[in-house]
Amino acid sequence: MRLIYAIMHLYWRFTRGLTLGVRAVVLDTENRVFLVRHSYVKGWHLPGGGVEPGETLVEALKRELEEEGNILLTGRPALHGVFLNGRAPNRDHVAIFLVRKFHQSAPRRGDAEIVETGFFSLDALPEGTTEGTRARILEIKAGLPAAALW
């Protein structure tokens, strides 16, 4: 099943002329960040995914947070920035939102796509947290402006 997700992910990445995705820095009341670990890419990442035709950025964000973390928005997310991800042949753009108002209906159980999830202290991110994920968290934590590149 993991191989199927990996193949679908590669197909999606390279068959679209330009890709647009959303990710969220979800901070709970203890100022811990929600991260996910996928089966088809290494490391810990901010939750999110691709924007489908006909979806707004916020609609895609809501869908992805529900799918990846059982997280339901209870307030409007704040746009942190839009980034060019140069690792995906300069075609991938990612909108990052800050989410503070939410409810998690239940902890997300691992499956064939999402291996593991959790809330982590900003000062103790898990080993394997990706460089881009760390950079976005630092920007928000320190009140820095969003960089242009992922």
Mean local confidence (pLDDT), 100-117: 94
Mean local confidence (pLDDT), 38-63: 96
* Distance between CA atoms of residues 132 and 21, nearest Å: 14
* Distance between CA atoms of residues 40 and 37, nearest Å: 9
Give 74-99 pLDDT, tens digit per residue.
999 999 999 998 765 677 899 999 99
List the chain domain ranges. Answer: 18-142
Give 118-138 pLDDT, tens digit per residue.
999 999 999 999 999 999 999
Residue 61: name the closest of 4, 17, 102, 12 by CA: 102
Residue 79: name the closest of 147, 121, 23, 141 by CA: 23
Sequence letter at residue 65? L
Residue 147 in this model has a pLDDT that exceeds 70: yes
CATH H-level, domain 18-142: superfamily: Nucleoside Triphosphate Pyrophosphohydrolase (3.90.79.10)
Burial (CB < 10 A; 0-12, 13-18, 19+), residue 10, is: exposed
Quickly list H helices, the chain: 2-15, 57-69, 131-142
The mean pLDDT of the chain is 92
Residues of the chain with pLDDT > 70, as a percent, come to 90
pTM: 0.86
- Pairing state of beta strands 114-121 and 32-38? antiparallel
Contact criterion met (CB below 8 Å) for 69 and 75:
no
